[in-house]
Amino acid sequence: MKPRTLKDFWLRLASALGIGVAFIGSIVFIGPLGLAAVVAVVAVAAAAEFYAILRRERRLPNELFGLAAVAAMPFAASWYGTYGLTAVVSLLVIASLLWHITFKQVRATDTAVTVFGAVYVGFTLAHLVLIRELDAGTELALATVASVWANDTFAYLIGSTIGKHRMAPHISPKKSWEGFLAGTLFTTAVWASVYFIADTGLSLGWLIMVGLAASIAAVVGDLAESRLKREAQVKDSSAWLPGHGGFLDRFDSMVLVSIVTYYMLVFAGAL
């Protein structure tokens, strides 16, 4: 590995570990409400970055409505489950439409970006709180976080060292099929290990399927955010996290993994 690549790797690892401590600590020692607080902070920061990127595209989202909804979603999920999430999204849609009607300078794209930004980041990440509320929720939430960390780490490590076959060069030139396979292998391994270390009531086959689905979701989330930045001609969503850029850069995989994993687990019978 090249010296610069190695330095980037350690910076990414240090940032990931710091964030991991916050998530793991809240999942294990505090519970759903503590996790909701951590998710709210991360989601608000990521959503703020999303809105800032879209402003470069001459969109004018209502950050007040959007960020307020994002902050509320994890707590609504903790207190009222999916009903709480639906209620927050409904209020956001109603408020955004009233804003659109009241101010003639507001365009349909501004209203759409306001709602989409909150759903894209806040609604999806709030599903990690819902996972924590499931039976064996502590173990399942930990596995979700660990699987994303494993995917990001090993996809980057293998892709930057031996990756030769580019996956989507027009969107993310550094992403390779070798990195994708490595990320998939270790993500699936994390979920398979849950069968042996926790009593979740789920079969090994289902847990492997969860791992495969999470791997695909992680890549789609990563590529979607890369496409977003490429359209706006920005390298990173911000510079808040060393080695990663911004919160949206760091959690672009988690946003889809959280919601995909939740429904895979629900379909598997983890209620």
pLDDT digits (tens, 9 = 90+) for 195-250: 999 888 899 999 999 999 999 999 999 898 888 888 877 766 655 555 556 788 88
pLDDT of residue 256: 95
- Per the listing, tokens 């809240």 go with 26
Q: What is the pLDDT of residue 185?
A: 94
Across the range 172-187, mean pLDDT stands at: 82
The pLDDT value given to residue 164:
73
Those residues whose C-beta lies under 8 Å from the C-beta of residue 2, and which sit 6 or more positions away, are none
The pLDDT of residue 124 is above 90: yes
Give the gyration radius of the chain's Cα atoms.
18
> Which regions of the chain does DSSP assign to beta strands (E)?
166-168, 172-176
* The pLDDT of residue 173: 66
Give the model's confidence band at 79: pLDDT under 50 very low, under 70 low, under 90 confident, else very high.
very high
The region of weakest confidence among 24-28, 89-93, 143-147 is 24-28
- At 166-179, the pLDDT tens digits run 867 677 767 777 88
What is the overall mean pLDDT for the chain?
86
Residue 163 has pLDDT above 80, yes or no: no
pTM: 0.88
Residue 270 pLDDT > 80: no
pLDDT at 4 over 60: no
Compare 26 and 209 and report the one with higher pLDDT: 209
- Residues facing residue 166 across a β-bridge: 176
What pLDDT score does 62 carry? 93
Helices 204-232 and 247-268 meet at what angle, rounded to 10? 150
Contacts for 112 with CB less than 8 Å, ≥ 6 apart: none
Instruction: Tell me how far apart the alpha carbons of residues 43 and 128 are, in angstroms, rounded to a whole number.
Output: 12
Q: Is the per-residue pLDDT at 3 higher than 50? A: no
pLDDT value, residue 144: 94
Alpha-carbon span 97 to 75, nearest angstrom:
24
The whole-number average pLDDT for the span 172-191 is: 85
Q: What is the pLDDT of residue 1?
A: 46
- The whole-number average pLDDT for the span 39-52 is 94
pLDDT at 5: 54
pLDDT for the residue 119? 96
Between vectors from CA 181 to CA 180 and to CA 187, what angle results, nearest 5°? Answer: 85
Cα 136 from Cα 91, distance rounded (Å): 31
d(CA 109, CA 86): 22
